[in-house]
Amino acid sequence: LAMTIGYPNGAGDDSGNTNQFYSQYEPKEVLGHGLSSVVRKCVEKSTKKEFAVKVIDLNNLDANSEDARADAMKELEVLRKVQGHPNIILLHGYFETAAYVFFVFEICPNGELFEHLNKVVRLSEKRTRAVMQQLLDALQFLHRRSIVHRDIKAENILLDEAMNIKLTDFGFATEVEDDESLTDLCGTPSYLSPEILIVNMYERYERTSVHGYGRAVDMWASGVLMYTMLSGSPPFWHRKQMTMLRLIMEGRFSFDSPEWEEISDAAKDLIRRLLRVDSKQRPTAAEALQHQFFCPAGASTPVV
């Protein structure tokens, strides 16, 4: 990584550290906002290259700033472990002060897949295949390193100048010991898998054999995304959230709407497999990449 700036013991005067960032980068327009962060375009003065900087205001959070710093440290640790994949966001630098944390990322000029979907509504099967292939390849890379992303959704997929995807926002990502070791509730409601809900809705796992969750939650969320890209609407949605959560836990979705008529059986089959309620029955990322959806008739190996 280009640079890591430590922060002084005892908050003290950290203007020097803040200046380290501003002496190297010139901030430009705001690209987006998070709950406690802002993303700006910035230009590296020495190279004139553009980057996206995520600035986390440690004092602007409901949580205490030490917890916020610990979360940023955890995100940094995960990001460092997952560098080097073409479909995972590249971290160019990192700066830390008493009040702020700066993550400097490569810039993705075509923005979020979410915004792109809002404009075009649906993606062709060919385009969906390209996005899914890149996403599953990135997930295979993460899962082999025992890292679960836990927030796969269209908002967390960026598009570079060539419309290749870059998986971003590793704020919920964590290392997993085994595939039943996680229990905390995190993610985005319409993308949550049944096992996350089951673990969190039943009193200490009474009446259920599900004791935790792992990598398979990312596979479920990628199934939700694939369905959404092809049809223009999510598989599980209801204005009453409890009803939506029940639909998810029962795995109740359909291909009844007219837009599914011209979509291939292979695409539907992969979605059905990814959206299996029993997480043990879902394919891994590596298995999903071998699915016939990625192997058009006559080809013996997946088309890359």
Domain 113-294 has CATH 2.60.40.10: no
Distance CA 166, CA 157 (A): 6
Q: Per residue of the chain (304 residues), what is the pLDDT tens digit?
A: 444 443 333 333 445 566 789 999 999 999 988 778 899 999 999 999 999 999 998 887 566 778 888 999 999 999 999 999 999 999 999 999 888 999 999 999 999 999 999 999 999 999 999 999 999 999 999 999 999 999 999 999 999 999 999 999 999 999 998 777 898 998 899 999 999 998 888 655 455 667 789 999 999 999 999 999 999 999 999 999 999 999 999 999 999 999 999 999 999 999 999 999 999 999 999 999 999 999 866 555 555 5
- The two beta strands, 50-57 and 100-106, are antiparallel
The SS3 call for residue 54 is: strand
Q: What is the pLDDT of residue 8?
A: 35
Catalytic residue among 71, 137, 151, 218: 151
Q: What is the pLDDT of residue 19?
A: 76
Which residues are bridge partners to 213 per DSSP? 182
Helices 216-231 and 265-274, axial angle in degrees (round to 10): 140
- The two beta strands, 147-148 and 174-175, are antiparallel
User: For the chain, how long is the longest CA-to-CA vector?
Assistant: 67
The SS3 call for residue 52 is: strand
Region label for 112, one of left (φ > 0), alpha (ψ between -120 and 50) or beta (otherwise): beta
**Is there a binding annotation on residue 54?**
yes
Q: What is the pLDDT of residue 30?
A: 95
The CATH fold assigned to 15-106 is Phosphorylase Kinase; domain 1 (3.30.200)
Q: Which two tokens stand for residue 166?
A: 């870059």
- The residue length of the chain stands at 304
Q: Which two tokens stand for residue 107?
A: 């810039």
Q: How far is CA 47 from CA 5, 17, 40, 51, 104, in A?
A: 20, 21, 18, 11, 14
Domain boundaries defined on the chain: 15-106, 113-294
pLDDT in tens, 154-203: 999 999 999 999 999 999 999 998 777 898 998 899 999 999 998 888 65
Report CA torsion sign: 240, 246, 249, 255.
negative
pTM: predicted TM-score of the whole model, two decimal places? 0.89
Q: How many CA within 13 A on the CB side of residue 280?
A: 6
> Is 151 a catalytic site residue?
yes
DSSP track, 82-139:
TTT-TTBPPEEEEEE-SSEEEEEEE--TT-BHHHHHHHHSS--HHHHHHHHHHHHHHH
Distance CA 164, CA 86 (A): 9
Q: What are phi and psi of 29, to 5 degrees?
A: -70, 155
pLDDT in tens, 87-117: 999 999 999 988 899 999 999 999 999 999 9
Q: What is the pLDDT of residue 16?
A: 55
Distance CA 109, CA 86 (A): 16
